[in-house]
Amino acid sequence: MSIPTLTFFNNKGGVGKTTLVYHLSWMFAELGLTVLVVDCDPQANLTAAFQDDETLVSLWEPTPRAKPATVFQAIKPLMEVSDIAQVKAQQMAPGLHLIAGDLGLSAFEDQLSEQWGKALSEDSAMRAMLVLSAFWRVAQATGNRLKADVIIFDVGPNLGAINRSVLISSDYVLVPLAADLFSLQGLRNLGPALEKWRKGWDERCHRMERIEKPLPQGRAEPIGYVALQHQERLSRPVQAYASWLQRIPGEYRQQLLDDGDPERAAIPAIDADKYCLARLRHYKSLIPFAQEARKPIFKLRAADGAIGSHATSVARAYRDFNVLAHKILERIGIPVPASS
């Protein structure tokens, strides 16, 4: 049985996606789960949040005999004539492991685009399906060695071939959102793309009479969204923010769930929407402390500078992410260990 896979994704950047992945992966581990995080964004921002510059250099510029330690190094043999390589995951904390991102991953984009078409050809379908499922196979192989309970993918904010391969490798999708036009437009792009990718993957899988290796199901089932709360700006008044916020439930249903005509359907307010998993605060004042300490904001201590009102915000952040983590695990059917 494969390990459940979850991807955080929005076509719109700047919605706190990578920050959300970082904090929730820590919280899942805090709850007693074994978590494998896979950084499939060629910008590798998630990896940079976990690792210092010296470690990044050792990962991205390995010695000739070093074992593959990034997602690109694991799939690079596929660009030649071989298959994926075993990758060494980095342990970030008890129960929390990372397959590091790599700036070189962008070189794999063309290969994925090419193989998507070749997967429909009888002569090249077998090889093409192995390439297209590379992220899933690397993650599952590593996760099984670690006895992981869940695998989390982080991706960039685009609809390119890398993200297509990650999404067809995902059992579940969570959408981070901001209350603005651009974030909702990202939903309008994401919904049709997911539907197209699912159908395309099903078609390719059905054409395969036999393949020696297991393949992802390509479910990419939406489990809900997280809305980032308003940050005061002169250019974006509170009324405008509230207006965009209340449009999210209808847009989410229409674009990702195909719930019918939003003009006729009973669309709830966001506070009553079962698909709204959280409305998270920005915690902007804590971010510099967390970056310096290389830990999530809810694990900051007085020695990290979290004193006075900051200490209160740290406690509140812990509660927020703890509640959200429980909701996500419930949606994807992973029980929380009794000890937590």
Tell whether the model's pLDDT for residue 240 goes beyond 80: no
DSSP 294-328: TS-GGG--GGGT--THHHHHHHHHHHHHHHHHHHH
pTM of the model: 0.93
pLDDT at 264: 47
CB contact at 8 A, 319 and 278: no
The per-residue pLDDT for 41 is 96
The mean per-residue pLDDT over the stretch 125-131 comes to 91
The Cα 115–Cα 99 span in angstroms is: 24
- What's the rounded Cα separation, in Å, for the pair 116 and 125? 9
Is CATH 3.40.50.300 the classification given to domain 5-286? Answer: yes
Task: State how far the Cα of 213 lies from the Cα of 203, in Å rounded to an integer.
Answer: 18
In this predicted structure, the answer to whether residue 124 has a pLDDT above a threshold of 70 is yes
Per-residue pLDDT averaged across 206-231, rounded? 82
Closest residue by Cα to residue 285 from 305, 260, 265: 305
Other residues' Cβ atoms within 10 Å of the Cβ of residue 127: 16
Q: pLDDT tens for residues 67-110?
A: 999 999 999 998 887 789 999 999 999 999 999 999 999 999 99
DSSP string covering 120-183: TSTTTHHHHHHHHTHHHHHHHHHHHHHT-SEEEEE--SS-SHHHHHHHTT-SEEEEEE-SSHHH
- Cα distances (angstroms) measured from residue 210 to each of 117, 140, 204, 207, 318: 19, 20, 12, 9, 48
- Averaged pLDDT, 215-240: 76
pLDDT in tens, 276-327: 999 988 787 888 888 888 999 999 989 888 888 888 899 999 999 999 999 9
Q: Are 150 and 142 in contact (CB under 8 A)?
A: no
Q: How many helices (H) and strands (E) does the chain have?
A: 12, 8
Confidence (pLDDT) at 103:
93
Q: Residue 209: which pLDDT band, with cuts at 50, 70 and 90?
A: low
Percent residues over pLDDT 90 in the chain? 68
- Residues contacting 288, CB < 8 A, separation 6+: none
Strands of the chain (E only): list them.
5-8, 35-39, 90-93, 96-99, 150-154, 172-177, 221-228, 276-280
Q: At what angle do helices 109-118 and 125-132 cross, to 10 degrees?
A: 140
What pLDDT shows up at residue 259?
A: 57
pLDDT score of 27: 98
What integer pLDDT is reported at residue 89 of this predicted model?
96
> Is pLDDT above 60 for 232?
no
- pLDDT value at position 273? 94
The answer to whether 298 and 314 are in contact (CB under 8 A) is yes
Q: What's the pLDDT score for residue 163?
A: 97
Question: Predicted confidence band at 230 (pLDDT cuts at 50, 70, 90)?
Answer: low
pLDDT of residue 100: 97
User: pLDDT tens digits for 146-164?
Assistant: 999 999 999 999 999 999 9
pLDDT given at position 72: 96
Backbone angles phi, psi at 60, to 5 degrees: -85, -15
CB 301 within 8 A of CB 318: no
pLDDT at 235: 47
pLDDT averaged over every residue in the chain: 90
Predicted confidence at residue 238, as pLDDT, reads: 61
